[in-house]
Each structure stands twice: as C-alpha cells, then as structure tokens.
Chains A and B, each alone.
Chain A
Amino acid sequence: MSMQQVLFAVILIGLGTYLFRAGSLSLGSRVKWPDSAKRWLDQVTPAILGALLAPLILTNHSHLVIPWNNAGFIALVPTGYIAWKTKHLLWTVATGIISYAIILYFIHR
C-alpha cells in the first residue's frame, strides 16, 4: 500500500471511529438498541483478534509453519499464560518481547 493510501485510510478510519463514538453517544439517551445487535458486536472484537493473530503465528510467506520451529509460536505460550493470568496489557507485551528475544537467541546461537 502506498503512503498516500495509508494516509487516506488513517483519515477515513479516524472519521469513522469518531462518528461511531459521537453518533452513539448522542443517540444513546434517545434510542434503545436491540439486544441481539449488542450481542453480535460483543463477538466481533474476539473474532477480529483471532483472525489477526492466527496468520501472524501460523504462517510465513503464505505457508503454514510447524509450530515448534517457529519462535513466535513458542513465545506465544508464556505470553498467553501471562495474558490469561494477569489480563494486563503491559505485563503481557513485556513477557512476549522478552520470551521472543530469548527464543531468537537460542535459535540463532
């Protein structure tokens, strides 16, 4: 994607996000949303995160990679454990980066 396209995407995404926030806040006191719409939206974020994460760790250049040969996949084990235990963004990211660095060190040794 060219930088011009990225810039245009940033402007559109910012505008859309703002309209989601402002429109719903403004309508919130007047309109009642159907329960099913709320529950579908509740499922969207986990689905997107799954869809983003899985290809990052399961594929390399469009090929499936064997999990135990894959530094990212191995590093995800302690990362996932800390995420599950602490539910803390920063601890999880720190654990991820440190485990990834250690695993890369052993692979390239």
Chain B
Amino acid sequence: MTSKSWIKKGIRDAFPIITAYFPIAITFGVLSASSAIPNDITFLISAWIFAGGAQFILISLAATGISFESMVVTILLVNARHILYGTTLGAALGQWREKHKWLFAFGMTDEVYAVASGQAKSGLPTPYLFSLMLGAYISWVAGTLVGIWLGNIFPASITNILNFAMPALFTALLFNAARNRYQGISAIIGGLIATIGTIYHENSLGLVAGSLLGATIGFLLSRKNKEA
C-alpha cells in the first residue's frame, strides 16, 4: 500500500472515533464552560491533556474543595492505564523512528489505541497512525470549542440538568472498565471508602485512598483466586 492509501485508511478507521468524540467533546465544553472554568482553560484541557474521562473528572474535582495534590495524583492514576497501551502497542512499532513514536504518543487515547491494536497484525505505518490520531484530535478539540460556545449561551436550568452527564459518563466508563468480578469489587470498595471520606470531610484522602485500596484489594483477590 502507498502512503496515500494508508492515510485514506487511517481517516476511514478514524471515522467511528470522530463521530463518537464530537458530541462527547461538546458535552465536555458545555459543562466546563458552565462551571466556573474560563474558556481558555477549557480549551487548554482538551488541547493539552486530550483524554476524555480524565477531563470530565478534572472539571468535576475542580468544582469541589479537593486539594491540588489529590487532583493531580487522582487524574494521573486514571491515566496510568496508558502505560499499558504504550507497552503493548510499542512492541508493534519496533521499526518506527523514535521521533515518530514520541509524536504519535500525544494522541494515543483509549479509542485510538483500541483501533490501532486491532490493526497491529497487518502493520502500523506512520501515515496510518498519524491520520487516525489527528482525525480523533481535531474532532475532540472542535467539539470542545462548540461546547464552550454553547455553554456560554445555555441558561442555568439546562446546564443544571446537563450536570448529570458527569455521573452518567462515569457510569458508562465504569461498565466499560469493570469487565470481571474483581474489577467490580475494586469499584465497590473504592466507592465505599470515598463515600466515608466525603462524610468525614476528607474528600481528597477518600478519593485517593479509595482508588488505591480498591485497586489493590481487587488485585489481591484476583491473584488469590488464580492461585487457588
């Protein structure tokens, strides 16, 4: 295949991501703009972090009284799964120049990774992955801009209702992420600890402790079961 046909294939494969990202990015823009976050920071979040779930968590935490450190730690923990993606996909990019790997890495979101790893067996040339990644990125940033514009003109009654998009999105992500019993246990323990933390006005501690303990207990239980 020529470079041109790889680019075409990349854009074609990016299409489902583009159509999924655009409305979600609009929702993000609306929520961020209608909470107290200035438009330029909302834009920066999408353009610089470019990680859907983490961005929603960020604006949700910014609105609470959580500490700066807990916010950074929690969101980096959320994004730590990208290490898994990089290690698995990296093995398929052995022929790539180092410079290209570092450029592509910027756009390696969950969905880009999912499509790319499905394609890994038939080869991942640079024009293919770059067009896939750029398609997703442009859609995400453009959707955010539309969302910022809408967020500034929507009345409070609508943005009030749209606020439920956040728990709804977390629910959707949770059902996608918790595929087995142990991941379900991790989620429940994380939720319990965070709720106890919130009741005792220790939101930050509850969130970080819930995430770490939930994950560790789920992991230990799954290991124990595997050994048994």
Contacts and interface: CB of A to CB of B under 8 A. Distances in A.
Contact of B216 (A7, A40, A56, A89): A40
Interface in B136-169: 161-162, 164-169
A13 B171 contact: no
Interface string A26-65: 1111010100101111111111111111111111001110
Contacts of B44: 7, 10
Given A24-B90, A100-B161, A46 B170 contact: no
A53 B171 CA distance: 7
A60 to B, nearest CB: 10
B183 interface: yes
A14 to B, nearest CB: 4
B130 to A, nearest CB: 14
Interface string A79-90: 110011001111
B91 A29 contact: yes
B86 A23 contact: yes
24 contacts: A18-B105, A18-B106, A22-B101, A24-B83, A25-B89, A27-B87, A28-B86, A29-B94, A41-B80, A41-B84, A42-B81, A43-B183, A43-B219, A47-B189, A47-B212, A47-B214, A52-B170, A55-B195, A55-B197, A56-B60, A83-B172, A83-B176, A92-B172, A93-B169
Interface of B: 20, 23-24, 27, 36-38, 41, 44-45, 48-51, 54, 57-58, 60, 62, 65-68, 71-72, 74-91, 93-94, 98, 101-102, 104-106, 108, 161-162, 164-178, 182-184, 186-195, 197-201, 203, 206-207, 210-216, 218-219, 222-223
Interface of A: 1, 3, 5-14, 16-18, 20-29, 31, 33, 36, 38-59, 62-64, 72, 75-76, 79-80, 83-84, 87-90, 92-93, 95-97, 100-101, 104
